[in-house]
Every structure is written in C-alpha cells, then in structure tokens.
Structure 1
Amino acid sequence: MLPRSLLKILLFAILILSGPGLALEPAREGGVELFMGAADFEAHKLFEGERNPNIVVALDGTVVASWGEVENNFALGKKGIRVRRSADGGRTWGPLITVAKPCWHGGGLTVDERSGDIMAFAEAKYPPAEKWICRSRDHGRSWQRVKKAVIKPDKHGNVPDMHFAEHGITLRHGRHAGRLLRAARWYGGGDNRANLPRMYNTAIYSDDGGTTWNTSAPFPELGTGEGAVAELSDGRIYYNSRRHADPEGSKYNPALRWEAWSEDGGLTWKNAAMCRILPDGARKSIGPGSGCFAGLVRLPIKGRDVLLYSNCDSATEERRDVTVWVSFDGAGTWPIKRRVWDGPSAYSSLNAGRPGTSSAGWIYLLLEAGKSHRYEDGYLARFNLSWLLEGEETGDGTLPEWLER
C-alpha cells in the first residue's frame, strides 16, 4: 500500500495536469486507502468558551468550523455565529469570521456540492423564533444573508426550528442527487418540559440550491430532537436522533439513540427503532430532557458505507469522554469505538475530508470540552481511520474482509 502522504501528492499532480476545471471539482468519493496508512491523531483548541459545534469541508477542501455564543443560561449572545477556516487540511487555522450577529446558531451548516456554496442557519433568539439563512460563495471567507429564502411548514402546519442539528448534506446517489438535506426539529410550541413529549425531529430539503426549503414528514417517534442524517451508497438516508423524552410507561432504554430510514430522498421516514449499541449521551442521565447532541458522517469511500458516530461514552450522569463509533455496513453494526477526549465533554460534530484536496484522508471532530468543565472551550481533533481501528471492539459485529489493516 502506498504511504498516505504519497497518495496525496499523486492526487494533486493529477488535478494540476488535468487543468483548472477539474481542480475545482475534486472527486466526491475515493478509495478506503486515503483514510488508512499510519495511525494519525492530533487535537487542539479552536474556540474559547461558548458552545454549539458544526463542521463541514468546502468543495475546495477548506475545513470550516462553526461556533455559536451562549450566555447566561441560553440568553442570546451578541457575537452570534462565527467560523474559522483551514486551507491546509486542519493543520493551521485562520481568524474568527462573523457569519451573523446577534443570533442563535442554527446548526445544520450545509455545503451545496453543485455550486460550492455553504449555507448557515440563524435564529433571532432561542427558538421558536424568526429564522434566516446566510450564504458563503467563497468557501467560508465571507457571508451574506439570503433575502428570499423560504422554509415551508410540514403536513401539520408547523415550521421547524433549525438549531442544535448536525451538518447538512448534498445527496449524491439516485434520482434525488443534488438535493440539499439537513435535520431540523419542532419544539411543540416551546422548549420546556411540558412540551417534551410533543416535540419531534424532522428534516428540510431543497432542490433549488437553498432558496426554497420543504419540510419532510416528522420523524416517526415523538420526544425527539437534535438529529443527524447521512446518505448511503444506494441512496437511502439514515437518520440518527436524540430522544429527550420517552412515552409514559415506555419499555425502551432512554440511554440509547433512535434511528429511522428514508427511501425517497428525505420526504418520509420509516422503520424507526432504538439503536442497541449507540449511547444517547451519559448512560445514567435518563430523566426528561436527557440525551446529547451527536456527530454523524459517512466517509466518502466509493461503494462502501462506512459511518462514524460521536457522542459521550459515560457510565455516569456526567457528560464526558466523547468517543467515535465506526460502522462498516451502513449502521447495521458498530464493531469499533475509540475515545477521542478523556474528560468533561459534550456536543460534537463530525465530517470527513474530500478526495483530491488538502483535506483528503482526514476525519474531523469539533467538540465542546475542557479540563474542568464540559463547556470550557471548542476543540478540533483530526485523525484517520487507521487510528480509529486501534480502538476497542464493542462486540457488535466484526470488521469486514475488504478492510486492509
């Protein structure tokens, strides 16, 4: 197997020799070898204080990490949404760039793989609230508010809220290729404990590049929020959800995540079930409002459905020890996990590098973490699949034969 560094050099040489047009359109998916080679890991602080991580990789390979201010127990901060960019695969980072202020971070940062635009979602205050979209046409350097963006209500007449959702995606496979899709949620009229049983996750999707957004059918289970979506190689959509509240008398384990699937490009969701292996945050934090925001990404490996999931892996009530789980069969089993942060930590967001760019072969995790408190700062970890494979076996499935170690 060629060394990972040599593979990157060869890819860049091919792009340069092929002309500028191809260099602007790197391959969307490549081989598993890009994520292999010698195990590699590094982490450093990217943001000070505050919360709400989202991370994406622009079409040119620029890594864009977003962060949002939270003050005084969810009061609106004046700094709004900010991003930092890395043009060298996450090795070095530029200064803070303001996306919008004052506002709440809407999560769901989304790269349009047809145009190269990046969309960020903002809300005027803690939702329910006025919401809007900001767009970057230069890989996150500058941002402008979209004046005519429309988010349509769902079949119940509810317009979903955006915030606390994992990054969005561009569909690549099947008849809905090119569609923008991201998780969203409805708060049941307001974010309070009385409304928890009425809340539900959903998704919004756009077929016109992010100007008009339709709302999907609700996630099949109530009490859900803070979702994440990933497209598999056959075009199906996998939805992974936090659940804040279970129905009274429920037989389900409130410490585990929920899953559902779409076979129509994110219009409807079916086969909802509790995942038997993935934790929904700290395992003993199981009262109303329990669970924890999680990261999710499918690695851009052609013909393979390698999914990564991140969340706390704590046997106590404390949010700590953010860990990454790996599935090689599209969420059927999760045979490997590895801890990324040893200590207080909470929300996290996952993404992966693009073949043919400086980000190729890297996996990116942006998380809330600290030495003494889980919301101290924002840290960026980058690593490869080889590093994850040196982790702990979960007993849920086995590694595939096609995976060279």
Structure 2
Amino acid sequence: MKNKSRAFFFTLTFVAVLFGGNVFSQNHPAGSYALKLPKGDNNPRNSEGDFVTLKDGSILFVYSHYTGTSSDDHGNAFLAGRYSRYGGKTWSAEDKMIVAQEGNMNVMSVSLLRLKNGKIALFYLKKNSHTDCIPYMRTSSDEGKTWSEPTRCITDRNNYFVLNNNRVIQLKNGRLLMPVALHNTREGGAFENQGIIYCYFSDDSGKTWTSSAEIPNNTKIITQEPGVIALKDGRVMMFIRSNSGVQQLSFSKDQGKSWSPIEPSKIASPLSPASIARIPSTGDLLLVWNNNDGKDPKTKERRTPLTTAISKDEGKTWQNLKNIEDNPSGSFCYTAIHFTKNEVLLGYFDWATTQVTIKRLDLNWLAGK
C-alpha cells in the first residue's frame, strides 16, 4: 500500500511538472489545495477571480494580479489567467495576460459565464478613481484565446459601482442578471459605506443593460455586495452582505425587474459577502460564507472560518456545515464556485496573506454522504 501511495504521488508530481503546474499531494478532510498564488516581488496581492470550463475540457481561472507596492482595493492590477487540464487538480505555472490594466487604478472582480450563444463572457470592474468604478464586459468566440473590445455595462448612471466576482448569472430564458451596489450618489462625492442595491439585466447577451428598481431598504442596515441565485419556483433570490449580523435577502418574481424589501436570513455572518450556487448533480444549493455570529471575542467581526453548507429546500434551511478554512487569523472571502463531475472548485481570497487559493472538495463529502 505504501508503494502504491508513493507511486501515485510521483505520478501526480510528474504530471504537474510536465504541465508546469502546482500539486498538493496531501489528503485532508476539508479538501485538497490545488493552487496557491502568494504575493511576491512587484506583486503585493493576488485577488479574487472566477472559473469557466472550456470546450476541450480544460478550466480557465482568471484573477486580479496586483503590481507595484499597494495591496489596497485601489492598487494597480491586471487580469491574469491560469489553466488546468486535469479537472482543477493541477494548474499552469505561469500567468497569461487576459486584460491589461485599463483603469487608472485597476481592473478586478471577475465573473466568467458561458452564454447561450456559445461565447464566453468576461465581466470585470474598471476602476479609475474613488468616484469612478464601472462594470465592463468582453466576449470570446475562440475559448478565451482572444477577447472583444470592452463594452460598458452600466450607462444610465455614473459613480462607484461594486460588482463582486462570480456574480453574473444567466436564467433559463437567457436573461443575464448583474447585481451591483452603488456607493456614491453625488457627482464627485466621497465613497459611501451604504450601498444602494440594483440588479441590471440584459436580454441581448449583454449588448445592452436595464436597471431594476432599487432594492427597498426601509431600515438603517448597511447593505453591500449583492449576489443572486435562480430558485426552482421561478423567483430569484438576492443575498446581500450587511452589518446586521446575518445575510439579508430580497426576492424577485419578475426575473430581476423588481424586488421585495430586504429581510434577514438565518445565515449568521459578519460584514462579509456570501456565495451561493446550485449543484448540477443534485439540484441542491451550496453556500460558502463566513459562519461567524460574533460570539467568540477572538474572531468577532473577522472573516473566519470559511464554511460550506447545503440546502435541500431552496435556501430556507442549511445543513452539513463544513469548515474549509478555520485559521482564526485568516480573512477568507470572495469565493468563486465551479463544479466538475464529482468535485467543486472554490477560489477565494485571504486578506491576511493577500493570496488567492483554489481548493478541491468532494461533493459527496460536502453533502455528508
């Protein structure tokens, strides 16, 4: 048995070297690390990204590669790509430039989406200043080899919008939904902590976008960084980062045009974003978030642990909680969720180390089987 294990490790190592990637051989109850991108010289931060499976079966991961000396959200950055030919087990060792730094500050917060017309859509923020941050979109017809010129998604308003990574979704009828938070409403005004939440939608594969009504917030709760998930009954559920101690929710019955007033969920959370996706093989929902109710003074308000949970009732209740990262000094956030046949890839950022990590998790283990 020992010889077989050793042979398996050397085989994996050979494959990784052959492809120029990284391999982590250890088995761990909370999954296997497939790729870690730590900071380095002239690279103070590697930040959140997203995945897409290409037609040849390989996977592309695009993330923000920071340059210079600042790891701040407004530091310099371009979009870089890494590839996996082995279902996310190993990854290419060198970056491929996907989008150079277009904004005066950076480009960041990637969403990748396979459109119904077969093209790949790439969404990202183009950040010019503390009062000018707008989502842009490019498409690729050749599986990411080349990309179209950028198209501005929000044209009816200016100022500072936040679109998180792994946030744009496509409904069954092809409608695209893009949930955003507007953080300053006065021309040239300072960044405002309270985000005004909207959901832009497009019925022409992203050529044009229309704003929903503002998501009603009749409280003093701070709302930020929304995400959306389509439910089986035809509604769309929005989950929203907040300072209320839980994720806030809003629902749309008309595919994103109008939304119900925010309401508290049962998802205990610090002021940190959550991510939700539907597991293709079971139809259940997978939640990834910081399961931290603030009761432990050592980790109060920190983005740790990073936890997964499963819902079999469309988000009403959550079960099979698993801690993926539990370092009390960590700050894990901005998770991208991507499914392979029997596993899920999680790509997430750690503010404590300013590195991005990809982790592989067995879906049966997550479901408690």
Give the TM-score range, shorter chain: 0.7 to 0.9
Q: 1:69 to 1:389 in 2, by over 3 A?
A: same
Can you give the 5+ residue segments of structure 1 that lack an aligned partner in the other structure? 1-38, 245-253, 282-290, 354-358, 391-404
Q: 1:242 to 1:85 in 2, by over 3 A?
A: same
1:82 maps to what in 2?
80
1:150-229 matched pairs, under 5 angstroms:
150-153=153-156, 161-172=161-172, 177-189=173-185, 195-197=192-194, 199-221=195-217, 223-229=222-228
1:2-401 matched pairs, under 5 angstroms:
41-49=31-39, 50-58=45-53, 60=55, 61-69=57-65, 72=70, 74=72, 76-94=74-92, 95-102=94-101, 103-129=106-132, 131=134, 132-146=136-150, 148-153=151-156, 161-172=161-172, 177-189=173-185, 195-197=192-194, 199-221=195-217, 223-244=222-243, 254-270=244-260, 272-276=262-266, 278-281=267-270, 291-301=271-281, 304=283, 306-314=284-292, 315=296, 316-317=299-300, 318-343=302-327, 344-353=330-339, 359-369=340-350, 374-390=352-368
Q: Which has the higher strand share?
A: 2
2:304 alignment partner AA: R
Q: Give the Å deviation of 1:368.
A: 1.6
- Larger RCO (alpha carbons 8 Å, 6+ apart): 1
1:167 alignment partner AA: R
Q: Could you give the per-residue CA deviations for residues 303-334 of structure 1, whole angstroms, max 9, x where no partner exists?
A: x3x11121223442332221112111111111
Q: Give the Å deviation of 1:139.
A: 3.2
Return the alpha-carbon distance in structure 2 between the equivalents of residues 163 and 150 of structure 1. 11
2:3 maps to what in 1?
none
- Residue 387 of structure 1 aligns to a residue whose secondary structure is helix
Q: 1:40 to 1:338 in 2, by over 3 A?
A: closer
Q: Percent identity?
A: 20
- Residue 119 of structure 2 aligns to a residue whose secondary structure is coil
Kept in 2: contact 1:62–1:139 (CA 8 A): no
Q: 1:170 to 1:266 in 2, by over 3 A?
A: same
Q: Could you give the per-residue CA deviations for residues 91-128 of structure 1, whole angstroms, max 9, x where no partner exists?
A: 22233222323223144433323323222223133553
Paired residues, what number?
315
2:62 alignment partner AA: S
- Residue 235 of structure 1 aligns to a residue whose secondary structure is coil
Q: Give the Å deviation of 1:145.
A: 2.5
Q: 1:51 to 1:213 in 2, by over 3 A?
A: farther
Instruction: Compare 204-213 and 306-315 and name the one that shifted more.
Output: 306-315
Kept in 1: contact 2:164–2:334 (CA 8 A): no
Return the alpha-carbon distance in structure 1 between the equivalents of residues 276 and 320 of structure 2. 15
Q: Give the Å deviation of 1:40.
A: 8.8
Q: 1:77 to 1:141 in 2, by over 3 A?
A: farther
Q: Deviation above 6 Å: which 4+ runs of structure 1?
A: 190-194
Can you give the 5+ residue segments of structure 2 that lack an aligned partner in the other structure? 1-28, 40-44
Q: 1:76 to 1:142 in 2, by over 3 A?
A: farther
Return the alpha-carbon distance in structure 1 between the equivalents of residues 65 and 344 of structure 2. 25
Kept in 2: contact 1:80–1:105 (CA 8 A): yes
- Residue 325 of structure 2 aligns to a residue whose secondary structure is coil
Return the alpha-carbon distance in structure 1 between the equivalents of residues 258 and 33 of structure 2. 38
Return the alpha-carbon distance in structure 2 between the equivalents of residues 326 and 348 of structure 1. 18
TM-score normalised per structure 1: 0.69
Kept in 2: contact 1:201–1:224 (CA 8 A): yes
TM-score normalised per structure 2: 0.75
